[in-house]
């Protein structure tokens, strides 16, 4: 396939599975060359082999829990001479259980991946993204960022809310340079996420209407950032829930979250 997309690569973090892999596939369908990064090299290579018939794909493994990883990753991109036009900050995971059930190094590593790495990669790559004249930054947040926090979700909702506010400010700062910045806020999505957190059995009890497909989430995010939407909430149900959360009293919504937290989160 000959790419008709503007020149420049899309860097997708956490591209080995789930929403990250779906975003990579969607960009490949649109003729955008890719830089894929994650910890699991075998998964990255499998995805790269799948997509190389459509676009050029570079694989650069990185463990973003290492504070040095963003600088090393950016330096390797520069060494290979790969112009980055699109940055997708997707890498992430969840830490199940209440705040005090985990030691501080576990939380610190989580914050490094979810906040530190996303912020630093953006800082390091933003000059090139701005220079392209039509750059894009897609931060994969969560519907959890848009409603009161749930029991057992202490840092997860907080870091996703950070990504929303980060995206809003970046969008305003870079609008005059042709850069669109979007926070993608999906609800429950079929992926490895709940297997990693050990909540798959619990989550399987949720009704089918609560679940989104990764392909649909990826398409919504990319369509949204192309249109210049700053916040994208995929799915009619979640858009309705967001509307209700914004217009109902905070105390009522917080009470509902408290009563239902144990159905969707490990809280012990």
Q: Tell me if residue 59 falls in helix, strand or coil.
A: strand
Residue 264 C-alpha from the chain's centroid: 20
Distances from the Cα of 63 to the Cα of 91, 97, 116, 118, 142, angstroms: 10, 23, 12, 12, 22
Closest to 23 in 3D by CA, of 199, 222, 201: 222
Tokens of 255: 């009470």
Catalytic-labelled residue, pool 9, 27, 156, 238: 156
| ∠ Cα 140 145 149 (to 5°) | 140
The dihedral region occupied by 83, where left means phi > 0, alpha psi between -120 and 50, and beta the remainder, is beta
Residue 244 · residue 185 · CB < 8 Å: no
Rounded to 5 degrees, what are φ and ψ at 203? -70, -25
| Residue 238 annotated as catalytic | no
Give the closest residue to 129 by CA, choosing from 225, 29, 58.
225
Kindly tell me the sign of the dihedral angle through the C-alpha atoms of 84, 86, 87, 91. Answer: negative
For residue 134, give the DSSP letter.
S
Residues with a known catalytic role: 156
């Amino acid at each position: 396939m000959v790419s008709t997309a503007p020149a420049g690569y899309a860097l997708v973090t956490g591209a080995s599975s789930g929403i990250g892999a779906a975003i990579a596939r969607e960009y490949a369908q649109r003729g955008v060359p890719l830089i894929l990064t994650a910890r699991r090299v075998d998964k990255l290579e499998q995805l790269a082999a799948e997509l190389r018939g459509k676009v050029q794909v570079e694989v650069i493994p990185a463990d973003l829990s290492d504070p040095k990883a963003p600088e090393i990753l950016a330096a390797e991109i520069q060494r290979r001479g790969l112009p980055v036009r699109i940055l997708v900050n997707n890498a992430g995971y969840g830490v199940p259980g209440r705040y005090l059930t985990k030691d501080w190094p576990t939380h610190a590593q989580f914050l490094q991946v979810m906040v530190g790495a996303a912020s630093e990669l953006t800082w390091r790559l933003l000059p090139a993204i701005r220079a392209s004249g039509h750059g894009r930054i897609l931060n994969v947040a969560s519907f959890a960022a848009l409603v009161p926090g749930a029991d057992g979700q202490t840092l997860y909702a907080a870091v996703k809310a950070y990504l929303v506010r980060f995206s809003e400010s970046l969008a305003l700062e870079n609008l005059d340079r042709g850069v669109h910045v979007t926070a993608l806020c999906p609800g429950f999505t079929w992926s490895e996420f709940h297997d990693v957190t050990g909540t798959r059995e619990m989550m399987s009890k949720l009704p089918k209407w609560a679940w989104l497909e990764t392909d649909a989430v990826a398409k919504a995010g990319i369509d949204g950032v192309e249109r210049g939407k700053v916040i994208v909430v995929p799915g009619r149900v979640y858009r309705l829930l967001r509307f209700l959360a914004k217009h109902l009293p905070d105390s009522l919504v917080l009470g509902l979250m408290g009563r239902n937290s144990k159905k969707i989160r490990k809280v012990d």
